[in-house]
Structure 1
């Protein structure tokens, strides 16, 4: 029998070094308390921010701001949502340092290797996206109904990219960093250390407005999680997963927004009715195909 963390999959040899800072199987009991503590810290920080905004803004301004965050139709609302993930990242860093007695950077893997791999994979994915973009347009895509002035969009682009980097990096820190590492030191099988985070990641993408088709969104998110976990196990760092997640969200949030709830920063809007099972199935089928190409591209770049 393999020791905990010693994956039987040859391609995952780098994974053993990635999870080593998490300790041994005896330390795995801290996983659930750690998640509870991180959630409590995150909610406390959000509560403090909300109270600060209520002090700084007039009642009308605060109500307008709250509405913009809820519907995501304004740039300020989307930026707040993206940057608020920084609180969650800070919370998981505190839990890692205080409860697990290790440096938060160990959630990423060797920093220099993570940066090198992440940049290389991001360049590969951008090239792939450019090739796909010059191909004939697909009839699956919803028609564009709105566009924003290019000047204002470019002005907001740097801060928007930073917000997306914070949001995607935080999600990877939690799911492919904290969760994957803590589960892998206890359980050998990828069915658990890949499968459980993927299930949770999928369920967190549940959208009630999708009705009976909501399971398709859960399935797509779970598949994304599995691919990100696979890249992390092959690379031994979060760099490639962050690059994949970053570009995927950047395209969906900054260029062509199909989700009205995240359209405030997009150059173009092509809203899709999530309750329409045919449109949703077609769009997700295309997304899954692109995700598969992205995974293959990342593996070619990593040569793993």
Structure 2
């Protein structure tokens, strides 16, 4: 039995118990990665087949840099390939329902709505304060009219990306580990650590690469805890979506994945000093997310 605070997690774990072996889980995770890579490579192969040589090179460059609206959207949508990988893993390897990874639909949607409402206002206030404090440094990104035109696609792309990541790490990986191990130290920490290590990009972040890993680990722990407390992906999805909308759609750093943002901060990923100075507030934001979600849901 799980601790009382995680009793609702049985909603996700019960269906994972019949196929809780570690060997099967490892094979499932390999399947997720294989399907994702296969789909991404398939998209590039198709693009190469239908585009001119120059058009294909421009297509690849846009996705590699993610500095344009098209490039950023393409990156977000391609992340959806991970969800397809999870579908293959759970249906074929574990013989469990893909949609069951979200938890009961009604509670999931209600928790998603509740947490979104709780933290969206706080993040709007954060953006306003940032703009007021650093109004000389913040520069315009997309023109407002263009940004509004792209807004539905931005939200769709972000929803695809965050849903894919939450399905892999919280819906699938965490619940399968919990079916095998009783200790929360295992099924909270291990998926969060893997999630964090995938954010290690020293070529872009330089000396701050491990700080970014630490941030991602804290974020993963918060999302994992909320998933276990509520028994659905709703709160983690809401937290992830609001966070990424602010970071990619409202107020992004310059450079990679900045193509959909309304404003840009006056530095890019290579500015180690500015990024390091920003990190304490980023960790504080995770704590605010987590506490706000728990207060809103009373969990």
TM-score (norm 2): 0.94
* Pairwise CA distance, 1:147: 2.5
Map 1:98-247 to 2 at 5 A: 98-135=92-129, 143-208=137-202, 209-247=204-242
Q: Does 1:59 align with 2:53?
A: yes
* Pairwise CA distance, 1:259: 4.8
Conservation of the 8 A alpha-carbon contact between 1:257 and 1:271: no
1:3: which partner in 2? none
Map 1:79-98 to 2 at 5 A: 79-98=73-92
Find the aligned partners of 1:260 and 1:141 in 2 and give their Cα distance. 19
Q: How many residues align?
A: 298
* Pairwise CA distance, 1:26: 4.6
Conservation of the 8 A alpha-carbon contact between 1:93 and 1:104: yes
Q: Secondary structure at the match of 2:213?
A: helix
* Pairwise CA distance, 1:260: 1.3
Distance 1:126 1:26, change over 3 A: closer
Q: Does 1:30 align with 2:24?
A: yes
* Pairwise CA distance, 1:131: 3.6
Find the aligned partners of 1:201 and 1:23 in 2 and give their Cα distance. 23
| Equivalent position to 1:71, from 57, 60, 65 | 65
Q: Secondary structure at the match of 2:103?
A: coil
* Pairwise CA distance, 1:212: 2.7
Find the aligned partners of 2:171 and 2:136 in 1 and give their Cα distance. 35
RMSD of aligned Cα (Å): 1.9
- Deviations 1:1-38 (CA, angstroms, capped at 9, x unpaired): xxxxx223x21110122211112475343111111111
Distance 1:22 1:139, change over 3 A: same
Find the aligned partners of 2:129 and 2:52 in 1 and give their Cα distance. 49
Q: Secondary structure at the match of 1:288?
A: helix
* Pairwise CA distance, 1:279: 1.9
Find the aligned partners of 1:222 and 1:92 in 2 and give their Cα distance. 21
Find the aligned partners of 1:158 and 1:131 in 2 and give their Cα distance. 22
Find the aligned partners of 2:258 and 2:30 in 1 and give their Cα distance. 31
* Pairwise CA distance, 1:276: 4.2
* Pairwise CA distance, 1:130: 3.1
- Deviations 1:194-234 (CA, angstroms, capped at 9, x unpaired): 11111111111112132232111100000000000010011
Find the aligned partners of 2:150 and 2:216 in 1 and give their Cα distance. 28
Find the aligned partners of 2:173 and 2:30 in 1 and give their Cα distance. 13
Distance 1:134 1:109, change over 3 A: same
Q: Which moved more, 1:262-271 or 1:133-142?
A: 133-142
Find the aligned partners of 2:195 and 2:256 in 1 and give their Cα distance. 19
- Deviations 1:156-215 (CA, angstroms, capped at 9, x unpaired): 110110000000011000001111011111111111101111111111111213223211
Q: Secondary structure at the match of 1:194?
A: helix
Q: Does 1:302 align with 2:297?
A: yes
Find the aligned partners of 1:148 and 1:81 in 2 and give their Cα distance. 18
Map 1:249-268 to 2 at 5 A: 249-268=244-263
Distance 1:195 1:303, change over 3 A: same
* Pairwise CA distance, 1:141: 9.2
Find the aligned partners of 2:147 and 2:73 in 1 and give their Cα distance. 13
Find the aligned partners of 1:168 and 1:29 in 2 and give their Cα distance. 27
